[in-house]
A = this chain, B = another copy of it.
Amino acid sequence: MTGRTMRPIRETIPIGQALALVLEAATPITRTEPVPLDQAHGRVLAESVLAAADVPPFERGAMDGFAVRADDTSGATREVARTLRCVGSIFTGMIPSIAVARGECVAIATGAPMPDGADAVVMVEDTDRIGDEVRVFAPVHPRQNVGRQGADLAAGDTVLQAGSVITPSRLGALAAAGIAEPLVFARPAVAILSTGDEIVEPGRPLGPGQIYDVNGHTLSAIVRMHGGVPIPLPRAPDAMEALMQAVAEAAESADLIVFSGGSSVGERDLILDVMRAAGEVIFHGISVKPGKPTALARIHSRPALGMPGNPTSCLSNGYLLLAPMLRRMARLPEHRPHVLRLRLARRILSTTGRHQFYTVQVADGSAVPVFKSSGDITSMSQADGYIEIPAQTASVEAGEMVEVVLF
């Protein structure tokens, strides 16, 4: 026997309080970096972007058709057409060297600069052309189908505010403003340390008493989904000195440290000792099921989450705590998960006094519980999402409506 003894978790805090403490410990990132436009999707703008020039930069046709003097089309109908003489064509990318005089018109493509003299565009659908003769079947008023210079944005106008999340449409706005490398906030770097001497990387053969690392991989996926960069650390042996060293190194390069395993009460559960020795434990133990043995600390002035070793427990607190924490650090808005309202297919008994996270499968339009135990693969492989059962609820009956948060 070692000198350490098992330490049962006797005091737990409610999940809501745990979430509040986790969010309090999350410092929004201040590092910035330029990214090429093609990698900017989903990133957060670190500075407001101003229009460098008027958009459009010149008066342009807003329709394919004919640039005209609006006056020349007045009263035109399909029965009584106005006939104009076409004196040239202007394509996009061209500088018009041609002007439109009374009784004349110029073929113009959408986006091409307007020729001098013209003040409107008749769309091609309202015309008929034979040789140089263009018959116009509908009148246009001055400025009709013309994009005025600066109509969209004037030079100096704000295109996007700092803090905007770059969606495809905003990425389009950046491109239109000529921005090739927007300045964005860096993604929080998250050091992930799976502990446990029995843990083996998938792909290698299992020795006796060994199991594959699951949590390192699920945590990495959650980190990526919510705006972080996972930094998987080499597995450290279950020994105080090795872990202290690994943690000190992680704190230098990471914005957040996440341990999996080692926050339970086993004699070999060293993470809590590491947290105490290297920093300050903020909480240990949450009245949530699964996921009770979860801890938050501050180590070398970095927040550190100690996640449970059991895969389902680790996954559930990944969703309930790590994801919101990371989004705050990454300056992303609160996650809006997809929620389905479905009937529960089978009764669930819940542990009162503990908020419960329960994996379910969506099948035949109802929510089928798949949670077996917190160490289970099938709870994870068959799950499409989860339901939450509040601490004071003892059971949810078959047929009750539940809100399924989809993974």
Contact = CB atoms under 8 A, between A and B. Distances in A.
Nearest to A319: B168
A168 B222 contact: yes
Given A6-B107, A197-B93, A180 B209 contact: no
B266 A109 contact: yes
A89, A168, A318 interface centre (most CB from chain B within 10 Å)? A168
B175 A91 contact: no
Nearest to A337: B338
A198 B268 contact: no
Interface stretch (A22-30, A247-255, A376-384): A376-384
Contact of A217 (B91, B147, B175, B181): B175
A365 interface: no
A2 B37 CA distance: 36
Interface stretch (A51-59, A75-83, A274-282, A392-400): A51-59
Q: Which size bracket describes the interface of A in this complex?
A: 35 or more
B203 A180 contact: yes
A242 interface: no
B206 A6 contact: no
Number of copies: 2
Given A64-B6, A125-B8, A177-B377, A218 B168 contact: yes
A380 B1 contact: no
B209 A173 contact: no
A211 B57 contact: yes
A336 interface: yes
A311 interface: yes
A188 interface: no
B91 A268 contact: yes
A113 B268 CA distance: 15
A359 interface: yes
Q: Which 5 A-B pairs have the closest CB atoms?
A: A180-B203, A93-B198, A173-B381, A109-B266, A93-B197
Interface of A: 1-2, 5-6, 8-10, 37-38, 41, 53, 55-58, 62, 64-65, 86, 88-89, 91-95, 107, 109-113, 124-125, 129, 147, 152-153, 159-160, 167-181, 196-199, 201-204, 206, 208-218, 220-222, 224-225, 230, 232, 238, 264-269, 309-311, 315, 318, 336, 338, 359, 372-373, 375-378, 380-381, 383-384, 406-407
22 contacts: A1-B89, A2-B89, A6-B64, A8-B125, A9-B125, A37-B202, A57-B206, A92-B198, A93-B196, A93-B210, A107-B267, A112-B209, A168-B218, A170-B381, A172-B315, A173-B380, A175-B213, A175-B218, A177-B212, A177-B377, A179-B203, A181-B203
